[in-house]
Structure 1
Amino acid sequence: MLSPLQKANFYLNAFGFMKVPLIWLCRPKLLELNEEKVVVNIPLRRRTKNHLNSMYFGVLAVGADVAGGFMAMSKAQKRGNKVSLAFKEVEGKFLKRPEADVQFVCSDGRLIDEMLDETCRTGERVNRPVKITAICPSLHGDEPMAEFSLVLSLKAKL
C-alpha cells in the first residue's frame, strides 16, 4: 500500500508527464505535504542547471509553480471540489545562486483553504498571492536562495 505522500508523488509525476511535460522533465518530488505546508525538491542536474552550474531560473519558476499549485489542487481534491487553477502574476527575487538541489516551501495552507471556501461559496474567481521560498539545505540551511510571490487564481467549477 502506498503512503499518502507516495500517492501524491505518483499523481504529480503523471500530471507532469501527461499535462505539463516541463514539470516532468524537472523531476520534482514532494518531500512534505500537510494542511499547512508543502515542500517540493528539484534536483540540480544537467537538465536543470545553467552555464554557471546553478539552478536555471526557469526551473526555479517551475518549482514555485508546483509548490503553490499542488497544495491548492490537493486540498480541492480532498474536499471533493473541482476548481480551475491558474497563476495570474509572478514576482521572483533571486538572492543567491542555488548550486545544489533546491527545496521549494509554501506555508500558505490556511490562505488556500480560505480561497477554496470563498470560491465554493460564491462561485466567483478568487485571486490571492501565495509565497514560496526556495532553499538549498545541503549548502545553506534555511537561507533563502529565491523568494516568489505568485497570484493564485481559483474558481469553483459548479
Structure 2
Amino acid sequence: MNLTASKLNKFLFFKLPSAFLCGVRVKEVGENKCVVSVKHRWINQNPFNSMYFAVQAMAAELSTGALVIYQIQKSGKKISMLVANNKSSFTKKATGRITFVCNDGHLIENAIHETLTTGEGQTFWMKSIGTNEKGEQVSEMDFEWSVRVK
C-alpha cells in the first residue's frame, strides 16, 4: 500500500478526530519530507487570538510521524512506534495558515535497520518547522521517536 496524503487524512478522520476537526491536513508525504498544514480558526484558537500550542503540536507531530509510518511500511516488517519525548519553541503568534515541514525522513531508515538487526528499541530526534503564510517561522518542534520490532 502506498502512503498518500489523502490516505493519511482519512486516517485522521477515523483515528485522530480532534486533529481532523481542528483542521490539521497532510499536504504532501514522501520518503524524506512531509508537509502538514492547519489554519487558525475559532475551533483551534487560544485566548490570545492565535493558534493553540497543542494544535500546532498535533500538526508538527504528524509531519514527523507520517515519515516514520512511511519508512515502516517500506520495510515490510512489524515495527511499533512511539513518541518518547518532545520539545518546542514558539517565536511568533500563529495566525493564518501554518505549514509544518519535516525533512528528516533519512534518519528513520538507520533506526529501523538497527532495530531489525539487534531486536532492541532505537530512538532518534526529528524536527518540524512551522511557518506562516509570509514564510516567517512561528514554531519549531522536535520529537524523539522510538521504534522497536514487534
Residue aligning to 2:120:
124
Q: Secondary structure at the match of 1:36?
A: coil
Distance (Å, rounded) in 2 between the aligned partners of 1:29 and 1:14: 10
Q: Secondary structure at the match of 1:47?
A: helix
Tell me if 1:8 matches 2:4. Answer: yes
Note the alpha carbon deviations across 1:11-68, whole angstroms, 9 max, x for none: 2233223322222222322222222211111122221222222111010110111011
Could you tell me which of 138, 146, 149 is aligned with 2:139?
146
Residue aligning to 1:77:
73
Instruction: For 1:145, give the aligned amino acid.
Output: V
Q: Tell me, which stretches of 5 or more residues in structure 1 are unaligned?
A: none
TM-score (norm 2): 0.90
The structural deviation recorded for 1:155 is 1.0
Instruction: For 1:105, give the aligned amino acid.
Output: V
Distance (Å, rounded) in 2 between the aligned partners of 1:123 and 1:27: 38
CA separation of 1:32/1:15 partners in 2, compared to 1, >3 Å: closer, same or farther? Answer: closer
Could you tell me which of 32, 46, 55 is aligned with 2:28?
32
The structural deviation recorded for 1:119 is 1.4
Distance (Å, rounded) in 2 between the aligned partners of 1:67 and 1:145: 16
Q: Secondary structure at the match of 1:50?
A: coil
Q: Which runs of 4+ in 1 moved over 3 A?
A: none
Residue aligning to 2:57:
61
Instruction: For 1:154, give the aligned amino acid.
Output: V
Task: Give the count of matched residue pairs.
Answer: 149
Distance (Å, rounded) in 2 between the aligned partners of 1:115 and 1:128: 7
Residue aligning to 2:86:
90
Distance (Å, rounded) in 2 between the aligned partners of 1:31 and 1:15: 14
Note the alpha carbon deviations across 1:86-133, whole angstroms, 9 max, x for none: 111110101101111111111111101111111122221111111111
Q: Tell me, which stretches of 5 or more residues in structure 2 are unaligned?
A: none
Tell me if 1:43 matches 2:36. Answer: no
